[in-house]
Structure 1
Amino acid sequence: MTVPEQALPKAARLLLVEDDEDDYILTSGYLRELPSYSFDIVWADSPQQALTRLCDESFDICLLDFQLGAENGLSVLKLAQQQGLSTPIIMLTGQADDALDLAALQAGATDFLVKHELGSPRFQRAIRYALARKEIEQERVERLKAEAGSRAKDRFLAHLSHEIRTPLTSILGYTELLLESDYADQAETELGVILSNGKHLLSLLNDVLDLSKLSANRLELKIAPVNLDSFIADVFSLLKVMALDKGLSFSVVGRHPLPLIIHTDATRLRQVLINITYNAIKFTEQGKVQVEVWTERRQHQELLFFSVTDTGIGIAEEQLERIFQPFEQLQDVVTRTEGGAGLGLAISAELVAHMGGEIQVASELNVGSEFSLSINPGDIKDSERAELGFERSPLKNRQAIKPSLQGKVLVVDDIDEIRRLTGHLIQSTGAEVAYASNGQDVVALFEQSPQDFDLVLMDLHMPVLDGRSALTHLRRQGYTVPVVAVTAATQKGLHRQLTELGFNDILSKPINKPSLYRSLVQYLNPADVSVPVRKKILLVEDDPDTRRLMDMILTDLGSTVESVGTALDCLKKLEAAPHYDGLLMDMGLPDMPGAKLISLVHSVSPELPVCIISGRDLSTEQLSEYNAQDYLLKPVNRQDLSRVLNNF
């Protein structure tokens, strides 16, 4: 017969400090008669031995005699407290003494007992209380350790996110810029591979962070109205292309008229549907993949259901229990026919649970699989219903269209590549851009000319002065300019924390163009639709090929260009017609040092903005010494010239 676990006596290790052997034997006997505990009793007969044992070994409880030869147990109590020992100690005394009892409690004793109470109900209660207190203390210590470990993990993941997203921002952003340029035709395939793999790395990073937030119950859903028909059209138009590329039949079917509007987190639902449907396509070599959508009342709530059915390789019955576990991959680990971190289904199951539903799977090996999921779509009882029409949202399609804007944006980031990339994207809308590398620079810029900026994009993590502190300083000084936080962090409640601090909005890293454009449109004014004034530029470059190329780019950017190859010709142009909007000049001219030419230029046209074309980086101090407004580092590209023109 098996004894129930709760009926077994609890094992406890006890240190009995007693210099009288008869009292030791008597007390041990009473302890062994306690019905709920099984004690492993260790005997110490002196204060020194007791302290050594308490320091070197682990005990659940200690019974300490007050009188230990010429010494008393109070000294043991005090030394135990000084050394931070947490073992509960009960003082044993020969006779009742209120002053002694009070002294024992003040010295750190858990309780005190007169020896004639051994074996009494009070003795049993004191033992149970001390052991329960020990268990509570152990649980508290374990909880603190777990919380400390969780905080350390959160700090590590936040640091990891920042460190990975920063280079990914450059990789994805500059690759997209190259793909959009006129100079990437021959490398379009290779650039596409870079972009695709960069996005894959970002997806893996997001999966790891999502799993961490889900396990810590820190995922925050953003519930909003969603046009269901448009949502389905957007999600499955991408997946249909993947299926057709593999020669598979792909269809999406509504079993009956569906609500036009539901209330859910569209981003998270899209993540789940793409993950499950993508898996179905990935593991199906021939046949079909079909998605069905319907609503069904369960108890007192009408739920929205999706099922994804495929004719793929299927899943063995013994593996079905593992597929929603993190880091599980069901493909053959030897052949490795498919890749991935094994996080998608685990995250999908957790997300669906957060959205008020569940995922179920039925599968037969070499026949196919069916994944079914449900979510709570909010109150849809009065929602208008219609058959699926697969009409994509016009607003959705317009979001990625580049707007034409005017205004000046301050981009603040300690990473030069991120500053320049963000600046390029902003300048492509027609807005002007200024840069700062930390919060202290921002504060200084506002103190010098507070009316210069219409919008600030501020990274949160920077040296010298971080984004939060800089924003706090600006708001205390009364500056009301819109400030948008740029961060790689995604923890729950972050948006509320930052808006309460004074930020107007948040952009996530890596910055994508649609999100950036939406933010810019919100805070900047539309560009004047009247015919733009063509800027008149004087270009001084002695290399004829470089001069010709820059002339072509500047003209294509809408400027009127006059180009010369020497300093002397430059001065002649200025003397003949000094009204130019800007001067672009190489520092290494054959007939005159660049610094001297700038000095002579300003003697003729004191207000003419000068941009230096240089083979090396120039500091702010050097630009000030040359009396120049900006510089371009060779080789100069279209984006560089566009930025300079916008600043002239």
Structure 2
Amino acid sequence: MQKKSARILLVEDDEDDYVIARDCLEELDEYRFQIDWVATPQEAFEKLTLNQHDICLLDYQLGALNGLTVLEQATEIRCRVPIIMLTGQSDKVLDKSALDAGAVDFIVKHELDSPRFARAIRYALARQEVENERLERINAETKSRSKDRFLAHLSHELRTPLTSILGYTELLLGTQKAEPVQDELNIILNNGKHLLSLLNDVLDLSKIAAKKLELNPATIHLNSFLVDIYTLMQITASDKGISLTLSSSTSLPNEIYSDPTRLRQILINLIYNAIKFTEQGSVDVVVKAKETPDNQYQLQFDVKDTGQGIPVEKLDKIFQPFEQVEDMVSRKEEGAGLGLAISSELASKFNGSISATSTVGKGSCFTAIIKCSATSNKQQSLLTLTKQLVNDKPTSLSPLQGRVLVVDDIPDIRMLIGHITQSFGLTVDFAENGKQALDKTIISLQSNTPYDAIVMDIHMPQMDGKEAVVAIRNQGFGGHILALTAATMKGVEQQLKNLGFDSVISKPVDKVLLHSDLSKILAITEPSLQKITPSSSSSLCFMLVEDDVDAAEITKLLLESMGAEVAVAHSAKQCRALLKSKDKWDKILLDVHLPDENGLDLAKHSQLQSYTDEIVIISGVDIDKDTLQQHGASKALLKPLNKDKLATLIN
């Protein structure tokens, strides 16, 4: 058995006693001791200050002074070395005094060759090991928190100038002034977006390393999902003059339950890499599915290219962060070498993997294996690239009239459903949760302008859809309420109808089915004599609090281009001064990092709440909903801001 190493400080002014203690320590077979011997209290204190020893044996009688003095001084400086007091004779009073002063044990010198001494040494060393592990864990956690704070700060600092770069470029492209330099502006816009994608890759990698990246599963219509990716990547392939094909070698499930965002990220990374490193020929994507006994599917995606290939010795490195096959790839190929590393980590999150085979001069094949859950819809079919495209034609859908409230806590889904219903000709209002939906419904009832229909998600914070429908019905709302849910198991629809919903729409929302459902509802509902339209955007008055002058100016211009009036403050102090210039602000937009106060703390300020109904936080990092709610903010916009993000505030 290998001996454990330990460093001992022996404080003893009698050389004979030192020799006895040393010999007794050497008899402990399981340890190899390095002994440092000092004879005075001052030397002992200097050594203990360094915290370099695993244990200290301290003689009680050190000339004119005693060891209690050293113990007390060691306690004052928070010495981490466990100290065992040694004395010439047993004394209960002294024993208690030593323990009270901070000693871990008390040993009489004639017991040095006894089992008691051996036990005391082992106990003290074990205690020190535990303490060292605790300190190492604290240090690691501190470093991790420091890293997170740095990445959050870096993200904010990079996203703020990107707001100006992308915003001004986007604004110019929408004007006649851009016609002579449209190509150059598009280059700026594309490179700005590429810089943003690199930033997102670095942040994703840091989340993975910190084990903070979580999957958000939802029901995915697999055929439509794959066709969307194919359509997007076909443009990139066409630009390089190579062909891109997508096919399935087996029938595929119509629906799966997985994280659509992260699965899309994996596939786009693999396909984009294949296109990027293929100068001529083709990229072929083949999908196959296999059902497993535990009600799951194993999906396999083979992405084959006819590119220049990768040497065998380089294959293991390509899945490591910041690695690129520089011997094979010219520096004209952009990227930080993070895509494959992130994709590999994401695949493991799906209980899968990514592997690669390659032949130099002939091409490569990347294989992603993903495991996902089945839904109640067990139907399967062969992949078709045209099946889902016909249903999305708005010309096949007749116009509708009415006023609809769309309720969903996820901004992307909320805005997607809003855009779909607006494309039907409907007037749309939005709510982010059940509580907000209840408040807006009460206001509409009190003003005698009730909604014709409410389309509401089931799973939301504050008040979910089930609680909200009961509360809304209790307020006397007699209109139709549609439930949005990813749960399509038997009995769910009837349960929701029993609560007060009129019908149920499964996620992801099918545009044709939603139109069909709404057309039945609006055909039954007597249309209003006068169509209710939302307030003109020109009546919206915003306050923007942003310390970066350029970012503030472009955000102001983008909002004004959509008809809003915007007043700008560059600090918390200016914000408070500007508040009183208007009785009520429609929205106040607060940057997190202000020179004189944190934006979240400013949002929490009670005075701010009385001047607006909605506070929106602008940040370079994601802010969780609980933090927003605790500080009185309704939502957060992630920098860089663009016209689409700001349009959600106007809507």
* Larger gyration radius, structure 1 or structure 2: 1
Q: Distance in 1 between matches of 2:378 and 2:49?
A: 70
Match of 1:497 among 627, 633, 636: 627
2:583 counterpart residue number: 450
Shift of 1:383: 4.9
- The question of 1:460 aligning with 2:456 is answered no
Alpha-carbon distance between aligned partners in 1 of 2:650 and 2:220, rounded to the nearest angstrom: 24
Specify the alignment match of 2:71 in structure 1.
77
Cα drift, residue 32 of structure 1? 0.7
1:290 aligns to what SS in structure 2? strand
Out of 380, 389, 397, the position equivalent to 2:375 is 380
Q: How many residues align?
A: 512
Structure 1 equivalent of residue 553 of structure 2: 420
Please list, as runs of the form range in 1=range in 2, the aligned pairs for 1:19-38 lying within 5 A after superposition: 19-38=13-32
Pair 1:165–1:312, CA change in 2 (3 A): same
Correspondence list, 1:611-626, <5 A: none
How big is each residue's C-alpha offset from its partner over 1:532-583, in whole Å with a ceiling of 9 and x where there is no partner?
Answer: xxxxxxxxxxxxxxxxxxxxxxxxxxxxxxxxxxxxxxxxxxxxxxxxxxxx
Q: Secondary structure at the match of 2:272?
A: helix
Measure, in 1, the Cα distance between the counterparts of 2:315 and 2:213. 26
SS class of match (1:372): strand
What is the deviation of 1:448?
Answer: 4.7
Aligned partner of 2:306 among 299, 303, 311: 311
- 1:371 — aligned with what? 366
Tell me how far 1:80 sits from its aligned partner.
Answer: 2.0
Counterpart mapping for 1:334-373 below 5 A: 335-373=330-368
Q: CA deviation at 1:365?
A: 2.9
Q: Secondary structure at the match of 1:192?
A: helix
Partners of 1:326 and 1:504 lie apart in 2 by 36
Alignment-derived partner of residue 511 in structure 1: 641
Query: Which AA in structure 2 matches 1:204?
Result: L
Correspondence for 1:546: none
| Displacement of 1:277 | 1.0
- State the shift of 1:9 in Å: 0.3
In the alignment, the residues of structure 2 paired with residue 474 and residue 227 of structure 1 have an alpha-carbon distance, to the nearest angstrom, of 46
CA contact (8 A) 2:167 2:643 kept: no
* Distance of 2:43 and 2:139 partners within structure 1: 31
Between 152-161 and 366-375, the greater mean CA deviation after superposition: 366-375
**2:172 is the alignment partner of 1:39:** no
Q: Is the 8 A contact 1:257 1:388 kept in 2?
A: no
Whether the aligned pair in 1 keeps the contact of 2:71 and 2:102 (CA below 8 Å) is yes
Contact 2:255 2:374 in 1 (8 A): no
Contact 1:443 1:474 in 2 (8 A): no
Identify which of 320, 324, 329 aligns with 1:325: 320
Summarize the Cα distance change of 1:510–1:252 in structure 2 as closer, same or farther, 3 Å threshold: same
Tell me if the contact between 2:51 and 2:79 (Cα under 8 Å) persists in the aligned partners: no
Is 1:166 aligned to residue 157 of structure 2?
A: no
**Residue of structure 1 aligned with 2:234, choices 230, 240, 251:** 240
**Separation (CA, whole Å) in 2 of partners of 1:350 and 1:209:** 13
Tell me if structure 1 keeps the 8 A contact 2:159–2:640: yes
**Which residue among 592, 595, 602 is the counterpart of 1:470?**
602
In the alignment, the residues of structure 1 paired with residue 377 and residue 223 of structure 2 have an alpha-carbon distance, to the nearest angstrom, of 17
Quote the offset at 1:381 in angstroms. 4.5
In structure 1, C-alpha distance between the alignment counterparts of 2:649 and 2:561, rounded to whole Å: 14
Distance 1:449 1:180, change over 3 A: closer
Task: Report what 1:593 is aligned to.
Answer: none
From 78, 86, 97, the equivalent of 1:103 is: 97
In structure 2, give the amino acid aligned to 1:487: S
The Cα of 1:480 is off from its aligned counterpart by 6.1
1:429 to 558, 562, 565: 562
Bigger mean CA offset, 199-208 vs 380-389: 380-389
Deviation string 1:222-269 (CA, Å, 9 cap, x unpaired) is 333444333323322231122222222211113344344433333322
| Residues 176-191 of structure 1 mapped to structure 2, 5 A cutoff | 176-191=170-185
- Supply the distance in 2 between the matched residues of 1:464 and 1:137 (Cα, whole angstroms): 40
Shift of 1:398: 9.1
Q: Give the secondary-structure state (helix, strand or coil) at the position aligned to 1:323.
A: helix
Question: After the TM superposition, which residues 10-409 of structure 1 pair with which residues of structure 2 at under 5 Å, given as runs?
Answer: 10-55=4-49, 58-298=52-292, 300=294, 301-332=296-327, 335-386=330-381, 387-390=383-386, 391=388, 405-406=536-537, 407-409=539-541
Distance 1:519 1:234, change over 3 A: farther
1:520-535 counterparts in 2 under 5 A?
Answer: 520-521=650-651
CA deviation profile, 1:92-113 (whole Å, cap 9, x unmatched): 1222222111111121212111
Does structure 2 conserve the Cα–Cα contact (< 8 Å) formed by 1:443 and 1:470?
Answer: no
SS at match of 2:616: strand
Confirm or deny: 8 A CA contact 1:255 1:292 kept in the other structure: yes
Shift in Å, 1:212: 1.2
Farther off after superposition, 174-183 or 369-378: 369-378
- Asked whether the 8 Å contact 2:8–2:36 carries over to 1, the reply is yes
The answer on whether the counterparts of 1:17 and 1:65 sit within 8 Å (CA) in structure 2 is: yes
Q: Decide whether the 8 Å contact of 1:67 with 1:73 is kept in 2.
A: yes
How far the C-alpha of 1:36 sits from its partner, in A, is 1.1
Identity of aligned residues (%): 48
- Aligned to 1:374, the other structure's residue is in SS state strand
State the superposition RMSD in angstroms.
2.9
1:596 aligns to what?
none
User: 3-state DSSP class of the match of 2:177?
Assistant: coil
TM-superposed deviation, 1:474: 4.3
| Structure 1 pair 389–244 and aligned structure 2 pair: CA distance change class (3 A) | closer
* Counterpart contact for 2:255–2:377, Cα < 8 Å: no
Question: 1:518 is matched by which residue type in structure 2?
Answer: T
Query: Structure 2: 5+ residue runs without aligned partners?
Result: 394-414, 429-533
TM-score, length basis structure 2: 0.72
Q: Distance in 2 between matches of 1:333 and 1:247?
A: 21
Q: For the residues of structure 2 that align with 1:355 and 1:515, how far apart are their CA atoms?
A: 30
2:216, 2:593 → 1: CA distance?
25
Asked if 2 retains the 8 angstrom alpha-carbon contact of 1:357 and 1:376, the reply is yes
Q: Does the Cα contact within 8 Å between 1:168 and 1:198 map onto a contact in 2?
A: yes
Q: Is the 8 A contact 1:259 1:380 kept in 2?
A: no
Summarize the Cα distance change of 1:246–1:223 in structure 2 as closer, same or farther, 3 Å threshold: same
Q: Which protein has greater RCO, CA pairs closer than 8 Å, 6+ apart? A: 2
| Superposed displacement of residue 326, structure 1 | 1.0
Q: Is the 8 A contact 1:113 1:123 kept in 2?
A: yes
Rounded to whole Å, the distance in 2 between the matches of 1:306 and 1:187 is 41
| CA shift in 2, pair 1:46/1:417, >3 Å | closer
Structure-2 separation of matches of 1:378 and 1:442: 50
Whichever residue aligns with residue 329 of structure 1, its letter is Q
CA distance in 2 between partners of 1:517 and 1:254 (Å): 39
The one-letter amino acid paired with 2:224 is: S
The alpha-carbon distance between structure 1 residues 244 and 397, as it changes in their structure 2 partners (threshold 3 A), is farther
Residue aligned with 1:183, SS = helix
Give the CA deviation at 1:28. 1.2
Which secondary structure state, in structure 2, belongs to the residue aligned with residue 167 of structure 1? Answer: helix
Moved more, 471-480 or 184-193: 471-480
